[in-house]
Chain A
Amino acid sequence: MSTAIHAGSIDRSVLRRWRDRLAHFGPTGWLGLAVIAFWAAAAIFGPALMSQRGDVGGGDVFAPISAAHWFGTDYLGRDMLARVIEGARYTVGVAFGATLLASGTGTLLALLAAASGRWIDGTLSRALDTLTAIPSKMFALLMVAGFGSSVTMLIVTAAIIYVPGAYRIARSLAVNINALDYVTVARTRGEGIVYVMLQEILPNITGPMLADFGLRFVYVVLLLASLSFLGLGIQPPEADWGSLVRENIETLASGGAAVIAPSIAIASLTIAVNLVIDNLPGRAARERGAR
């Protein structure tokens, strides 16, 4: 808010903006927000509140839902509820972190490409095209082989894999905005490239980019699951939700709770993220609200 008029009005206008934003939320938006808050709380406080731990096995294998095991038990007889709650940390943390990194980097590079000259645009676009050409699983394999598997590693790998997609979408949006008269006016005023990027273009592409963020989040969750399947992801006995589905896949035929519980967790989180994003006032909502 570098351009807020009064020093005192900064806080007020930011608060008002957020209040307006939340006022636009329909019931679906609030539902999504509640689900995300629930999983975030589960990731942070869940393990401390649990009476059982996910790494203690030895009970019945694939036990059904019961008072002792709310989500049943997995293929080693471990409590599924505890496994899901502990897995929330990885899925919410790693997937969210990686998506944020991918979308953020992609958007920033796209803004730079759109707002600056042909050379920077060309170089960036070709470089990221090259990245797209490398199969993502192969790339992940290479990264893990080279640097070992850790949470940071996973976040960075997933981010690199999804930067080009975010970049492509953000660039196509930003190039359109960049051709509009108000950006031309800013240029003739003598504004620097950073101002044009962040003040003139960025606010007008946030809506679609947030929608893209929701989509990309789902991809990252799936990528993490498939990496775990190859044994490159979160290392056992720890497990994210994707690997929980994978390691209990045998019980799918019998409809076991062990595979359904983490699937529902993934579904609920991704749907919730998209619900919230759909309810953020984008361009259409802004025009609707303004009238």
Chain B
Amino acid sequence: MGALVVVDKLTVSAGSATLVDALSFTIRPGEVLALIGESGSGKTTTALALMGHARRGCRISGGSVRIGDVDVLSLAPRQLRALRGRTVSYIAQSAAASFDPSRSILDQVVEPACLHGTLPRGEAELKAIALFRELALPEPETIGQRYPHQVSGGQLQRLMAAMALITEPDVVILDEPTTALDVTTQVEVLRAFRRVVRERHVTAVYVSHDLAVVAQMADHILVLRDGRMREVGATERLLASPQNEYTQSLLAAARPATRTAGTARDDADVLLRVKGLSAGYGAPGPGGKPAVTILEDIDLQLKRGQAIGVIGESGSGKTTLARVIAGLLPPSTGTMEFDGRALPPALGARSRDNLRRIQIVFQSADTALNPSQTIDRILARPLQFYRGLKGEPLRKRIDELLDLVKLPRTLAGRLPGGLSGGQKQRVNLARALAAEPDLILCDEVTSALDTVVGAAVLDLIAELRKELGVSYLFISHDLHTVRAVCDEIVVMQYGRKLAQVARADYDRGPHHPYYEQLARAVPELRRGWLDEMDAQRKAA
């Protein structure tokens, strides 16, 4: 059974900065409270403080946390250890990073029970298997014998939930447990989580930045920003009539509006034509086919000024498609045509002008910007390289680019380490724009960003298209983002193109079943969506 959680004026600070500022809330036994906010809002810090833990360099500097009758913050280290994993347990965002790769899964799942002495090893194993079954894991009897790398990400996340629940805790903290998963996997995991949380009546804290996910899980939502509470309320009330301005902007960002920007005219000439493209890795075998085929027989046509979205789950080959077009991976068969002329398959064979006209923007801005180069140097390089600019014109052009992506000019002298995630992604875009390309390949550009920041980047992408007339090949696993900016959607699975849907037909069906499945898997921003899904599933 769950316990009552009372947090009163909780304050966490790091040095002179206050990360969580006098936060107070109550969770009734068996209820689920969602902490929602952008990165840096203090939601994980708050969640960790519930276990009496502060990350290195941080300090819980005030307030109180009560779980049942226990005042968590006044406990001695030994008592805290007895509390953690027993009364309060934690499910982290990345299960892959939380499991020890060198021990079998069952070994690790039963560890909390053995450590806290709640169950003897044999019984704990039986209980773990029962939990695996409850969490809808395949082969519950034997999955525990496997090692973490032998199960998928979604399964690992559920296995971690089993680890957290094996000691029958009163409070469970779920820290963005589905953020790293594909949409279709996410639904499965959410479903499993919700069932175990409901059936056991544990008190749960669900940390997330995704309102639609939270709407399915939580009874109450607490909106955090800069460590302060902006709004708290029952889920229905908060979604229907948000009081706080920030909550409203979060809700607006979660319902992405279509950015109707500069659609391509029908008579526009074809910019990129891909025919019968196959590609893969490894040495070519008989018949010129590579050892591992990633892409098979892809046909694609992109008109000047058009934006085409490519969606699919991870492993569907969408990133490989971008790499082939960019020349990083020569295709095994098939041809590419750019602006009416054949596009050489390998990078080395392309002319500098061809290289300039196709730019690629990567998902993770952290690794896409050289950490030892200042922003102006990063932006200056393509200008110098392609256009030979120097001196005053170069300076001016860099300023223009920064204006174009709406970054303050003062950032020019900084290193990427001093920028936020959204700012880095803007620099990333600006670098591609510096080459004045015709086609930008966007590989999951908003996936690593918070909803609000991601929405702003999407706005920028749509606006640039209107102003500069660039075309996009927009790769994403999120149907919402793709629908928001693209004229057409290409659906990929197992390296094949399954369907192509034009904007006018987005809401008109019927589409390819896989597209429908993807579309259905995106959580909707209302309560009860998951219940309806379950009901439909049972009926079917």
Contact = CB atoms under 8 A, between A and B. Distances in A.
B411 to A, nearest CB: 12
Q: Taking each of A5, A187, A283, which has the highest tally of chain B beta carbons within 10 Å of its own beta carbon?
A: A5
A290 B347 CA distance: 35
A190 B381 CA distance: 11
A185 B362 contact: yes
A181 B441 CA distance: 14
A188 B439 CA distance: 13
Interface stretch (B194-202, B220-228, B413-421, B526-534): B413-421
B511 to A, nearest CB: 33
Interface stretch (B61-69, B136-144, B171-179, B370-378): B370-378
Nearest to B434: A189
A109 B525 CA distance: 56
Interface stretch (B184-192, B304-312, B352-360, B493-501): B352-360
A181 B391 contact: no
Q: Contact size class for A?
A: 20 to 34
Interface in A17-58: none
A5 B390 CA distance: 7
A187 B328 CA distance: 8
Contact of B372 (A188, A190, A286): A286
B166 interface: no
B369 interface: yes
Given A185-B362, A188-B359, A180 B367 contact: yes
Interface string B255-287: 000000000000000000000000000000000
Interface string B376-417: 110011101110000100110010000000000000001101
B326 interface: yes
A3 B370 contact: no
Given A3-B377, A5-B394, A181-B364, A188 B326 contact: yes
Contacts of A189: 355-356, 381-382, 385-386, 435
A3 B362 contact: no
A182 B327 contact: no
Nearest to B419: A290
A22 B153 CA distance: 46
A5 B394 CA distance: 8
B327 A188 contact: yes
Interface string B324-356: 001110000000000000000001001010011
A189 B380 CA distance: 13
B328 A184 contact: yes
Contacts of B380: 3, 5
A204 B372 contact: yes
A179 to B, nearest CB: 9
A181 B360 CA distance: 10
Contacts of A188: 326-328, 347, 355, 358-360
Contacts of A180: 367
Interface in A136-195: 180-182, 184-191
B367 A182 contact: yes
A206 B26 CA distance: 51
B151 to A, nearest CB: 26
Contacts of A291: 417-418
Contact of A6 (B371, B372, B395, B417): B395
Given A5-B380, A187-B347, A290 B418 contact: yes
A193 B56 CA distance: 41
Contacts of B328: 184, 187-188
Contacts of B367: 180-182
A67 interface: no
Contacts of A287: 371, 417
Given A189-B385, A290-B417, A184 B347 contact: no
Given A184-B328, A188-B327, A283 B371 contact: yes
Contacts, number: 76
A247 interface: no
A204 B352 CA distance: 27
Residue among A190, A199, A204, A291 with the highest chain B CB neighbour number at 10 A: A190
Contacts of B371: 204, 283, 286-287
Contacts of B158: none
A255 interface: no
B368 interface: yes
Nearest to B441: A188
A121 interface: no
Given A184-B362, A185-B360, A286-B417, A203 B372 contact: yes
A200 interface: yes
A7 interface: yes
B372 A181 contact: no
A290 B416 CA distance: 8
A188 B322 CA distance: 12
Contacts of A187: 328, 347
Contacts of A186: 381
Contacts of B376: 5
B465 interface: no
Contacts of B426: none
Contacts of B350: 190
Nearest to A182: B370
Interface string B471-512: 000000000000000000000000000000000000000000
A191 B385 contact: yes
B431 interface: yes
B384 A3 contact: yes
Contacts of B395: 5-6
Contact of B352 (A3, A184, A190, A286): A190
B370 A203 contact: yes
Nearest to B382: A189
A258 B364 CA distance: 60
Given A5-B380, A5-B394, A185-B431, A190 B385 contact: yes
Contact of B415 (A182, A184, A191, A286): A286
Interface string A99-141: 0000000000000000000000000000000000000000000
Given A3-B380, A188-B355, A182 B391 contact: no
A204 B417 contact: no
Contacts of A203: 370, 372-373
**B372, B395, B398 interface centre (most CB from chain A within 10 Å):** B372
A235 to B, nearest CB: 45
Given A7-B391, A187-B347, 13 more contacts: A3-B380, A5-B377, A5-B394, A182-B369, A184-B362, A188-B326, A188-B358, A190-B355, A204-B371, A204-B372, A283-B371, A286-B415, A287-B417
Q: Which 10 A-B pairs have the closest CB atoms?
A: A290-B417, A203-B372, A290-B418, A181-B368, A181-B362, A190-B355, A181-B367, A182-B370, A180-B367, A287-B417
23 contacts: A3-B384, A5-B395, A7-B391, A180-B367, A181-B362, A182-B368, A182-B369, A186-B381, A188-B326, A188-B327, A188-B328, A188-B355, A188-B358, A189-B356, A190-B347, A190-B352, A191-B385, A203-B370, A203-B373, A286-B415, A290-B417, A290-B418, A291-B417
